[in-house]
């Protein structure tokens, strides 16, 4: 890993999204989920939770299994981080969990899911809520598939229905409901301020 570490910024939140690793564009753009996978992820949040990209980025802590772009593999696609790279970055996530003490963690993609629970097959974990302990803290875990265009899993059966069910679980989680209500109040307040001008 040779790129600049990518962070979602200092957001205090009851919710963490944990991605796998930045893609090639994220280090340059200096934010996670800044390209294709991010567009799909934020569209999911807006559709199911009513929070657009700005609301998600400003209210949910964005983390990753690995903070740097791992590089390309021999076929030219993004390389999966190696076990030693994952171990090197694990302390960051452990510290973040200890500091934030989130009520909900949403791991995105199989690599992120595996940092919390076993995941032999996505259909065994997507669409379910788990109670997990890590770093001395207990929280809910609702896994989502990776939203990249590289995998069609979330677009075809059974992945499509399971992803939709998982997104409904996310939207109904009390921590997300609180953030969604706060985002809606903020939007209404901004609109009222504009009308008053």
Residue range 126-150, pLDDT digits in tens: 999 999 999 999 999 999 999 987 7
Q: How many CA atoms lie within 13 A of 17 on its CB side?
A: 28
DSSP symbol at 83 = H
Model confidence at 197, in pLDDT bands (50, 70, 90)? low
Chain centre distance of CA 179: 15
Q: What angle do CA 90, 144, 67 make, to 5 degrees?
A: 30
pLDDT digits (tens, 9 = 90+) for 13-60: 999 999 999 888 888 888 999 988 999 999 999 999 999 999 999 999
The reported pTM is 0.92
In order of start, what are the domains of the chain with their CATH numbers? 15-196 (3.40.470.10)
- Short-list 25, 57, 31, CA closest to 42: 57
Tokens 């409904």 found at: 168
């Amino acid at each position: 890993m040779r790129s600049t570490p990518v962070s979602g910024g200092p957001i205090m939140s009851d919710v963490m999204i944990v991605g796998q690793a930045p893609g090639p564009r994220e280090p340059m753009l200096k934010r996670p989920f800044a390209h294709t996978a991010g567009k799909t992820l934020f569209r999911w949040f807006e559709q199911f939770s009513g929070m657009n990209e700005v609301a998600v980025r400003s209210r949910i802590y964005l983390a990753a299994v690995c903070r740097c772009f791992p590089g390309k593999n021999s076929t030219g696609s993004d390389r999966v981080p190696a076990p030693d790279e994952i171990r090197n970055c694990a302390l960051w996530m452990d510290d973040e969990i200890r500091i934030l003490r989130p009520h909900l963690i949403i791991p995105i993609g199989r690599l992120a899911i595996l940092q919390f629970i076993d995941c032999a097959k996505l259909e065994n974990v997507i669409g379910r809520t788990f109670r997990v302990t890590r770093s001395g803290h207990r929280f809910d875990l609702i896994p989502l598939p990776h939203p990249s265009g590289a995998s069609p899993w979330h677009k075809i059966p059974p992945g499509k229905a399971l992803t939709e069910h998982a997104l409904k679980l996310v939207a109904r989680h009390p921590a997300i409901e609180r953030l969604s209500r706060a985002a809606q109040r903020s939007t209404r307040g901004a609109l009222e301020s504009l009308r008053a001008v």
